[in-house]
Amino acid sequence: MVDAFLNASGREMSLKDKFFEFNWGFLLLIFAIAAMGLAMLYSVAEGNFDPWASRQAVRFGIGVCVLFVVAFVDIRVWMNLAYPAYGVALALLVGVEFIGFRGMGAQRWIDLGFIQLQPSELMKITLILALARYFHGLTLDQVSRLRFLVVPALMIGAPFYLTLRQPDLGTAMLIAIVGVVLLFMAGLAWRYFIIGGLAAIGAVPVAWGMLHEYQKQRVLTFLDPESDPLGSGYHILQSKIALGSGGVFGKGFMEGTQSHLNFLPEKHTDFIFTMLAEELGLVGGLTLLGLYVMVLMFGLTVGLQTRNQFGRLLAIGITVNFFLYIFINTAMVMGLVPVVGVPLPLVSYGGTAMLTLMLGFGFLMSVYIHRNYEITRNPGAFW
């Protein structure tokens, strides 16, 4: 067992060594994406930093500090704290049931005074940590044994159920998908996915009956938005109009008619990509998506190059979570999936989402810095 991180010269890695290992190009990508988001929030407010851009900038600055702190901490520390962190996030999710406050028809937040915390966002990161920790301690043969699947099934199922109760179907589905992807990456046998897929298909009628009326309406609107153009289909129809009206080069910064004449709903949060495409056109939209792709490629590369299972699963889990944010939000505003409350990462206005994303990027960078470190698979070695 190796007890210290070693650099290329064989010395234990100091803070200075870790500083030079830090990937500054990755940080530049994050700054570029956040800058586009701040520009859009400035435009939403008709050329004012208040109320959204200034607050978002402060949150981003705090997030960058969080990223640095997390990145430079010994990765074994994060492995040791994986289960406690998951426990805290789960307790906060339970707390939403009793002390959470309602907003926009859902009870999803806890008011901590300095921030309105959405525990389900934090849970997505801590779940990745906990599952990576759990599967790090198993051999490939153990992963597919039924008795070793009880714990991860409970880890995924408990937050899925609690988030569904809020109700927040979009975030609950993200939690489930991230969990399933990590099961796949850990080496779970194909037969479980086939059985699970068939069970999910068979459960569709039951699941449909359990949905709230507004959730059913979202699905029906997705299938036929023109059936109620001034009601439930209004949002997605206006989004499509704005996307198409931007053309190749857009109408110009702060010149979007659909957004600035208030035809476009939730333009500072869920539908901010539509506003960006209207003002900056296809070129602006593809530029943002190109930056996202580079971040995703970095995350996948880190996961593939990491020598320890904990870091590998952590990096891939963070990357998949980031991808799901991007895919669901952009597909939603284009009418390719039902409308759900999933923000566009680093661009949409939001405190908890911003800070948890930066926390995740901190873990990703920590894995990158310590990618050559080998950690024993003995699950009791670091407790």
> How many Cβ atoms are within 10 Å of 245's Cβ, its own excluded?
15
380 pLDDT band (50/70/90 cuts)?
Answer: very low
* Mean pLDDT, all residues of the chain: 85
Which 3 state secondary structure label does DSSP give 107?
strand
Is 70 exceeded by the pLDDT of residue 255? yes
Q: Which parts of the chain fold into alpha helices (H)?
A: 15-21, 24-44, 53-72, 75-80, 82-99, 119-136, 140-143, 150-164, 169-186, 190-202, 204-210, 213-223, 234-245, 257-260, 272-305, 309-333, 351-369
Between CA 129 and CA 133 the distance in angstroms is: 6
Least confident of 6-15, 116-125, 145-154: 6-15
Is 50 exceeded by the pLDDT of residue 7? no
Amino acid 56: pLDDT: 93
Is 90 exceeded by the pLDDT of residue 40? yes
Helix (H) or strand (E) holding 108: strand 106-111
Between CA 289 and CA 329 the distance in angstroms is: 12
246 pLDDT band (50/70/90 cuts)?
Answer: confident
Between CA 255 and CA 305 the distance in angstroms is: 45
Amino acid 269: pLDDT: 84
Top pLDDT among 383 and 362 is at: 362
Amino acid 12: pLDDT: 63
pLDDT tens sequence across 143-202: 888 889 999 999 999 999 999 888 788 888 899 999 999 999 998 888 888 888 888 888
pLDDT tens sequence across 328-340: 999 988 888 888 7
Amino acid 103: pLDDT: 64
pLDDT tens sequence across 301-325: 999 999 889 999 999 999 999 999 9
**Amino acid identity at 100:** G
Amino acid 382: pLDDT: 33
Between CA 299 and CA 304 the distance in angstroms is: 9
Amino acid 114: pLDDT: 65
Question: Mean pLDDT over residues 122-140, rounded?
Answer: 92
Is 50 exceeded by the pLDDT of residue 8? no
Query: Which pTM was predicted?
Result: 0.89
Is 50 exceeded by the pLDDT of residue 110? yes
